[in-house]
Structure 1
Amino acid sequence: MVLIGGTSHTGKSTVARAVADRLGFDRLSTDALARHPGRPWPTPEREVPPHVGEHYRTLTGDQLITSVLGHYRRLWPRIEELVTARALAPADTAGLVLEGSALWPAEVARLTVPHTAAVWLTAGEDVLAARVHATSGRDRLPPAGRALVDTFLARTLRYQAVMLDIVTRRALARVDTCQERPAAEVAAAVLAAVAAQGGPAAGPR
């Protein structure tokens, strides 16, 4: 098991895909288990659901963090069950790269299952802002849409600050994903951190 956590727009999905390809592992996102109100901007495939817009319009910064951390706390038993089952599976079972913001470091640090390594991705505030603005097309949105993006970004930065405090205090593995750093390079750094925890460095187990 390789666990990759971090706030939104740190590149978890892209890096998890690269790591899984290198190791010959399966890949899964915690979003597939249960999804908190997602990104509050439209895409060609979907409009912003009313409940998502209301979520970001009506809650304060503290309430947004409390809401998302409460969601992750409720989801954690399912994540722990998945990680435990996969880590203790027969040796011929494919490994798994699990990524998602729901991999809260305080919970992951308490895991005692074998064959499991965890790394958190971080990025500078300017990098996260640039990525959120680019992904959302913020400059093309009306004022109300830009306000939702700004609220989402503020929550994203607040989440990372709280998460990073725990990662630092517990001396957990962290890899920075700066704007110019290719995904392959970040994946290599993640694999090095995994190997330092006793996990595979490259190639199938």
Structure 2
Amino acid sequence: MNTAPLGSRRRIVVGISGASGAVYGVRLLQLLRELDVETHLVVSRSAQVTLSQEMGLQLADVKALANVHYPNADIGAAISSGSFRVDGMIVAPCSIKTLSEIATGCTSSLLSRAADVMVKERRRLVLMVRETPLHAGHIRSLAAVTEAGAIVYPPVPAFYARPASIEEMIDHTLGRVLDLFDVDARTVRRWQGAIS
């Protein structure tokens, strides 16, 4: 992983796209704030609808959780350039539209452009793809982003952890995502081996 030497504070870009599962992006921002990780947020227009429908949140509510927010149309934002040093990016959730733009390098928004920058700069990019079932075109896009160096991380619950609530399932999943950045969110019930 090519992490940027940023001093003692980590810096992660968070993208929230329009797929169902807006709670992953919101909770991720909350966890990163608790862990004192600097967050740079970009939210798609479709995500604003999903945030309202699924969580009753407005864009201002989510912006307040981030250190820096950029409008999705601002393709001149700091995160659109590889010269802006970050540890990586998490798209939570990641829609098939966003995935497809990253897979082809044909970016039409700041969210997909920032993700494309992570790929070209060989920085960590984690895509929490939220779609099912998948057709062949989706699978080809998943393969393409993986071959380019991104990590596809569908938010699949880990039932071995025996979660007692939806919140525990979400926190476990996000904790495993943050493990990929060597950030311990202290929300993962680690596998200790099967009990005989």
Classify the TM-score, shorter chain.
0.3 to 0.5
TM-score, length of structure 1 as denominator length = 0.43
Normalised to the residue count of structure 2, the TM-score between the two structures is 0.44
Quick check: which one's helix share is greater?
1
Q: Which of the two has higher C-alpha Rg?
A: 1
Higher relative contact order (CA 8 A, sep 6+): 1
